[in-house]
Amino acid sequence: MTTLTPAATGLTALLTHRQRPALGAFLPAGFPNWTAGIETLRAFTRHGADFLEVGVPHHTPTLDGPDISAAYAQALGQGARMAHVFSTIRLTASSTAVPVVAMSYWAPVLDFGIQRFAQDLAQAGAAGAMIPDLPASEAGEWIEAARKAGIHTPQFAPRSADDDQLAAIATAASGWIYAPAAPAPTGYQGELDLPALNDFTARLRTHSRLPVVGGIGISTPQLAEQVAPFVDAVVIGSPLIRPLLQGSAPAGLDGAVEQVRAFAHALHTPASSRPLSA
């Protein structure tokens, strides 16, 4: 593997050997618009986000619920393209002290070019990219391109995965393994089966020593605090996007920032402050 870029090395350092879970904040590139999106990401880091995920807008986000789907549609309707993704990452990574990771469906990567996508991400300062709809068994070309570029390839682990599939996911992963807190689309706001999540993350850790990042269904700060004992980081998206969709500036931004503060506070509570395996 090519030597990791400084951004990728920084992500590894952030997520390993922590005393509390890190907080990741997700926002699509170009949402609410290109300039406001960059300012929103910067605001998230000022108010508690330890790392950022920048989404690549896509017309058919099959794994996403209504909030992220609407944000993608708004970004695309305003002309967001892959160039906006790289610009958002570059401007955010260069002006904050936190790692930035891209989140993309596979189709936009194929359309843009696998090698070019990996190289342009690295040049923009991204620490890596997660492609949740690309099975590990089919990810060889992407993994090779990303590793040559020196960036991480976090892997999405479906809750339905058997041990053979988890082993393949662990082999393909670098940076982290993503464990959905609920087997549902993003934006799920129901109850969580915490014992089942505990069992699943324990299974993941038998296959890999990489950090485990939780998301999907961690819809409130209270749930983040309850999930914290099982994971090394929590990523939130829909709770931040919802106020931005519902409120005009600056009210929408204020609501999203307040969510970041609340989730960060929940992950800082004494109940969540314990050594994590990495």
Active site residues: 53, 64
Instruction: Check if the beta carbon of residue 7 is closer than 8 Å to that of residue 152.
Output: no
* Whether 227 contacts 194, CB under 8 Å: yes
Is the sign of the CA dihedral 170, 189, 57, 50 positive or negative? Answer: negative
Query: In this structure, what token pair is assigned to residue 218?
Result: 């961690």
Q: How many CB atoms lie within 10 A of CB 158?
A: 17
- Chain centre distance of CA 98: 13
The token pair that represents 201 in the structure block: 């993350």
Q: Please, are residues 192 and 217 in contact by the beta-carbon 8 Å criterion?
A: yes
Among 170, 124, 171, residue whose Cα is nearest residue 150: 124
Rg (CA), the chain: 17
- Residue 41 and residue 103: Cα distance in Å, rounded? 14
Share of the chain residues as helix, strand and coil, in percent rounded to the nearest 5? 50, 10, 35
Closest CA to 241 of 22, 26, 23, 24: 26
The rounded distance, in Å, linking the Cα atoms of 262 and 252 is 16
* Pairing label, strands 22-28, 233-236: parallel
Tokens encoding 154: 């976090």
